[in-house]
Amino acid sequence: MDREMIVVLDFGGQYNQLIARRVRECNVYCEVHPYNIGLDRLKEMKPKGIIFTGGPNSVYAEGAPVCEKEVFELGIPVLGICYGSQLMAHLLGGKVATAPVSEYGRTEVDVENGFAMFKGVSKKTICWMSHTDYIEQAPEGFTVTAHTPVCPVAGMENVKKGLYAVQFHPEVMHTQEGMKMLHNFVIGICGCKGDWRMDSFVETSIRAIREKVGDGRVLCALSGGVDSSVAAVLLAKAIGRQLTCVFVDHGLLRKNEGDEVEEVFGPDGPYDLNFIRVNAQERFYGKLAGVEEPERKRKIIGEEFIRVFEEEAKKIGAVDYLVQGTIYPDVIESGLGKSAVIKSHHNVGGLPDCVEFKEIIEPLRLLFKDEVRKAGLELGIPKKLVYRQPFPGPGLGIRIIGEVTAEKVRMVQDADAIYRDEIAKAGLDKDLGQYFAALTNMRSVGVMGDERTYDYAVALRAVNTSDFMTAEAAQIPWDVLGTVTSRIVNEVKGVNRVLFDCTGKPPGTIEFE
Ligand code: XMP
C-alpha cells in the first residue's frame, strides 16, 4: 500500500506503542521498528519522518542501543524523545551527562514557542519527565528550544537538517500539550497530509483480500469478540461465501452471547457467509468436572477448543487460508517485548497447526484496538458488538473460582448480566476499562425470608485501565452497587452475598484466575 508513514524506532522505551498511537491520532500511519533495523530498510520504507523513543539506558552504558549516524543525513526529519534526544545529541557531538537532579513526573517546562515543534504551545507548559541523564550542551548547529531550571536542553532543533529533540515525553497524557507538539512534528514539520482513515483502510483491505484469495476457500474461528468479528466481516465483504466461520460455543460465554453472535453472523444476519455454530457446552463441562486449578482449566479449555475446531474443519475439508484476528499490539509485543508469564493467555485465535491450510490471513495486524473498532463501525457492525469489552478466551471458566459446573455458569451469567445492565443504566459503561461479576468459591450463611441459606458469594470487579497491564479499581457509586446487590441476591438463585473487589493490578490481576 502506498501511503505516507512515520517510523518509530524503538530504543527500549515503555511508551513506544503509545507514540505510534498518538501519531495515528493525527491520521498518519505509523509503524514501530527495532532501533537497529538498518539504513537500507529505512530508505525502502520511505517514511516522512522518524521518531526515536526513550529507553532505560544511558548513552554511555555498555551495549546501549545505537543507530547509524547516517540516519541524520537521509533528509528525513527526525524527532528524538528522552533517550532518543540524548542519543541524537551524543552522536552529533553534543554533551550528555548525568543530571545533578533527576526529574521524574510532571515538570513545568519553559518553551520558545516561536519554533516549529512548539507552535501554539504555552510558554510554560506541563510535561512528563523521566530521566537521570540530560543534554548538557546541544551539538553545533542546534538551537535550544526548551529548558527547565535543572535541565538546560529540554528541547533543541536544527531546522536545516530537520532534527528535533525533546527530553520529556510528548506522547503521555500528563504532557498537557503533547498532542499539539506531535501534531506540529508530524503535520507541520514532516509535511504529512493526515489521510490515514478507516474508510480507506477498509476499502483497500477488501481489494487486497480479493486479490490474494482469488477463488480460494477461507476458514475463520469466530469468538464473538471484537477482533475476530471485525476480521470476519471484512472477509465476508471481500469474498462472501468463500468464507466459513466456525463459532464454538464452549458454554462459558456471557449470558445470551452465543445467540447474539448467531444473530449477527448466522443465516438471518446481514452477512453473506457460511456460519457454523458448534454447541459444545456439555463437552467442555464434562472435561472441566472436578478440575480446580486455574492453569489446568485454561489448558483444558484451550485444548478442547482446538479439538472441536479441528473436527469441524475436517468436515469442511482442505481450505486455502485461515483468518486470525491478530492486532498491532500483538505484533509489536511478540517482536519486541519480553515479560514474565503470569497467566498463560489462551487466545481463541491461536490454532493453526491443527488445520490444513496454505497461509494465514491477518487483516487487522496493522491496527490498534481503537482502530479495529473504527473499522468495525465503518463495516456496519452493530455498536453493541464493536464496543464489547475484552473477554478472555477461556471465558467464565476463569471467572468461576474452583470447579466449573453448569449450575455455577448459570449463576455467574445471571449475576454478570444484572451488573452490566445496571452499569449501563447508570451511564458508567463507556468509562470503565473492564467490569464483570465472578463467582467466588466461598459459601456463607445468610437469611432469606425466614429461611437460613448457605449460598455462594458473587464478587463484582470494575477497573480503569488503558493497557490492561496495570489497572486501578474503579469507584462505582454506592447506590449503583446497592441496586446491583439487591437484584443479584433476589434474582440469582444460589447467591446470597455480593462483594466488591477493591484490589488494583498489581498486586491483583484483572481476572480472578
Ligand atoms: P489479567 O487477569 O491477566 O487480565 O490481569 C488482563 C487482560 O487479559 C484478559 N485475559 C485473558 N484473555 N485469555 C485471553 O484471551 C486468557 O486466558 C486471559 N486471561 C485474562 C483479561 O480479561 C484482561 O482484559
Residue of 422 and 105 predicted with greater confidence: 422
Q: What is the model's pLDDT at position 340?
A: 46
**Residue to substitute in 248, 435, 510, 512 for testing ligand 1 pocket (most ligand atoms within 8 angstroms of CB):** 510
Sign of CA dihedral 207, 213, 215, 219: negative
pLDDT at residue 437 above 50? yes
pLDDT at residue 51 above 70? yes
Does 151 participate in catalysis according to the annotation?
Answer: no
Does 260 participate in catalysis according to the annotation?
Answer: no
In 280-388, alpha helices (H): 281-288, 294-316, 328-336, 369-378, 383-386
pLDDT at residue 100 above 60? yes
Query: CA geometry: angle at 418 spanning 251 and 232, to 5°?
Result: 45
Percent of the residues in the chain that have a pLDDT greater than 70, as a whole number = 95
Q: pLDDT-based confidence at 4, cuts 50/70/90?
A: very high
pLDDT tens track for 264-302: 999 999 999 999 999 999 999 999 999 999 999 999 999
Q: How far is the CA of 290 from the centre of ligand 1 (A)?
A: 23
Residue whose CA is closest, atom 7 of ligand 1? 468
**Residues 385, 265: contact at Cβ < 8 Å?**
no
What is the average per-residue pLDDT within 100-109?
Answer: 92
Pocket of ligand 1 contains residue 503 by CB under 6 Å: no
Query: Which atom of ligand 1 lies at the shortest distance from residue 389's CA?
Result: 24
Long-range CB pairs of 311-319 (<8 Å, 24+ gap) are 312/246, 312/248, 312/276, 312/278, 313/219, 313/246, 313/354, 313/355, 313/356, 316/217, 316/219, 316/244, 316/246, 318/217, 318/356, 318/357, 319/216, 319/217, 319/218, 319/219, 319/244, 319/355, 319/356, 319/357
pLDDT tens track for 206-227: 999 999 999 999 999 999 899 9
| SS3 label, residue 229 | helix
Residue of 105 and 406 predicted with greater confidence: 406
Q: What is the model's pLDDT at position 57?
A: 87
Pocket of ligand 1 contains residue 434 by CB under 6 Å: yes
What is the average per-residue pLDDT within 133-144?
Answer: 97
Does 282 participate in catalysis according to the annotation?
Answer: no
Sign of CA dihedral 235, 236, 239, 241: positive
Q: What is the model's pLDDT at position 338?
A: 38
Residue from 26, 30, 82, 190 carrying the catalytic annotation: 82
| Cα 103 from Cα 33, distance rounded (Å) | 28
Pocket of ligand 1 contains residue 392 by CB under 6 Å: yes
pLDDT tens track for 331-383: 876 665 434 455 555 444 455 466 678 889 999 998 988 899 999 999 999 99
pLDDT at residue 138 above 70? yes
DSSP state of 397: G
Query: Which atom of ligand 1 lies at the shortest distance from residue 347's CA?
Result: 15
> Cα–chain-centroid distance for residue 201?
19
pLDDT at residue 159 above 80? yes
> Cα–chain-centroid distance for residue 259?
26
Q: Does the predicted TM-score (pTM) go above 0.85?
A: no
Of the candidate ranges 82-86, 186-190, 312-316, the one whose mean pLDDT is the lowest: 312-316
Q: How far is the CA of 346 from the centre of ligand 1 (A)?
A: 9
Q: What is the model's pLDDT at position 339?
A: 40
Q: How far is the CA of 453 from the centre of ligand 1 (A)?
A: 33
What is the average per-residue pLDDT within 246-270?
Answer: 96
What is the average per-residue pLDDT within 483-512?
Answer: 96
Q: Buried b / exposed e across 426-452, counting CB within 10 Å, b at 16+?
A: eebeeebbbbbbbbbeeeeeeeeeeee
pLDDT at residue 152 above 80? yes
Pocket of ligand 1 contains residue 85 by CB under 6 Å: no
Residue of 356 and 177 predicted with greater confidence: 177
**Residues 66, 84: contact at Cβ < 8 Å?**
no
Q: How far is the CA of 435 from the centre of ligand 1 (A)?
A: 12
Of the candidate ranges 406-420, 438-452, 464-478, the one whose mean pLDDT is the lowest: 464-478
pLDDT at residue 426 above 60? yes
Q: What is the model's pLDDT at position 400?
A: 98
Residue among 513, 280, 251 at smallest CA distance from 407: 251
